Amino acid sequence: MRVLTWHGNANFTLDNVPKPRLTDDGEQKFSNVTPSLPQKWSIPKAKKSVLVKIDTVGVCGTDVHITQGLFPSTPPKVLGHEGSGVIVEVGKSVDPSRIGERVALNTTSHCGICNACRTWSFSRCASAEATSGMFAEYAIAPSQSAVTIPDRLDLEHAALTEPAACCLSGAEMMNVEECDLGVVVGGGIMGLFTLAFLKKRGVKTMVMSEPVKARREIAAQFGADLLHDPLSSELEEFINDHTNGHGADIAAEVVGKPQLVKKCISVVRPRGQVLMVGVSPKGSAIPSDLYDLHYREITLKGAFGRGNVFDRTPEAIADLDFTGIISGRYDLKDARQAIIDSGEAKGIKFVVKPSGYP
């Protein structure tokens, strides 16, 4: 099978390696597809795993940041963690009826009993087993991590389950009771999902603030009621105009820039809530007046990862309008270009098709 191997910086090779097999003995290890894992994670045991033929892999900002040296990762490694496909083989401890299931792939499994699972989230499980890198024609995943998708959700859009889960987890951290107005800063795929889930949870009016017109306009499909162009007016003025100077109830930063976190803090009302979904560079400080944060009793929350919601996410996204969301489809051999295009924000979401795209 073909795999795309990352060798550091923006260097990749397209390699042919043996198709992985689910053997019965011990931990499954296979050439080139085994990801570089944090020490706490292990390769899934074959007897409890499934082999998935990959249909679609989303290009994540993390993939971009890894190639730019902005996110820690150790080569050689097969990247790609937003995937969907069809189960073609199962380990001996997995129900064989799973063969043929259409699934979205979670990055890791969870035990449900460790301190991280009980007091933090399943996505931080201390004994997690990892799904192999998905820029490949096949991937091995713990059976638990291969989540069956609804019939009405196609495989291409099911590949967006992972980023959507991160946003759903964040949206569910917010108290939305009697929330009249929420604002999302950043109209990429994560911003769109965050907006959609806050709207679905009951925020009456949602604002999308995004400088790129195409992204701003597509936000209406995800529930945006008001669209703001930060190149034309200040967000503070826009929010004040629509709240009689009261401020937003919730503001979510979904870009990863500390100055935009500051802006979110500035536009919320007293006792307003700010959600950080975008990942700011390590070492970043909050560029805000802590006295103001304290005096106005602002709640600031970070949302990182899939939380406990991955299994529910395919159903949560199945009825969204994905028209125009996929900005480009690439064969596996062209995945490096997909990462470059994603990093240059040439569209909303780019995907790789490891089994080929006509």
Inter-CA distances, 326 with 103, 238, 349, Å: 19, 30, 5
CATH code that applies to domain 2-165+307-353: 3.90.180.10
CATH 3.90.180.10 boundaries in the chain: 2-165+307-353
For the four alpha carbons of 116, 121, 123 and 129, in that order, the dihedral sign comes to positive
Report residue 327 as tokens: 């900005």
Cβ-contact 15, 3 below 8 angstroms: yes
Q: Looking at domain 174-302, what is its CATH homologous superfamily?
A: NAD(P)-binding Rossmann-like Domain (3.40.50.720)
Task: Give me the helices (H) in the chain, please.
Answer: 61-67, 115-119, 155-158, 161-171, 189-201, 213-218, 235-243, 258-267, 290-295, 313-317, 335-343
**Greatest distance between any 2 Cα atoms in the chain:** 67
- Residue 185 per-residue DSSP state: E
Question: Which residues on adjacent β-strands are paired with residue 45?
Answer: 27
pLDDT band with cut points at 50, 70 and 90 for residue 46 = confident
pLDDT band with cut points at 50, 70 and 90 for residue 61 = confident
Across residues 220-238, what is the average pLDDT?
97
How far apart (Å, rounded) are the C-alpha atoms in residues 144 and 128?
11
pLDDT band with cut points at 50, 70 and 90 for residue 33 = very low
Is residue 190's pLDDT more than 50?
yes
pLDDT of residue 44: 65
Across residues 8-32, what is the average pLDDT?
73
Q: C-alpha angle 343/333/84, rounded to 5°?
A: 75
How many CB atoms lie under 10 A from the CB of residue 288?
19
Is residue 350's pLDDT more than 90?
yes
Per-residue pLDDT reduced to its tens digit, 102-138: 999 999 999 999 999 999 999 999 999 999 999 999 9
The model's pTM: 0.92
Cβ-contact 253, 274 below 8 angstroms: yes
How far apart (Å, rounded) are the C-alpha atoms in residues 171 and 66?
26
CATH 3.40.50.720 boundaries in the chain: 174-302
pLDDT band with cut points at 50, 70 and 90 for residue 43 = low
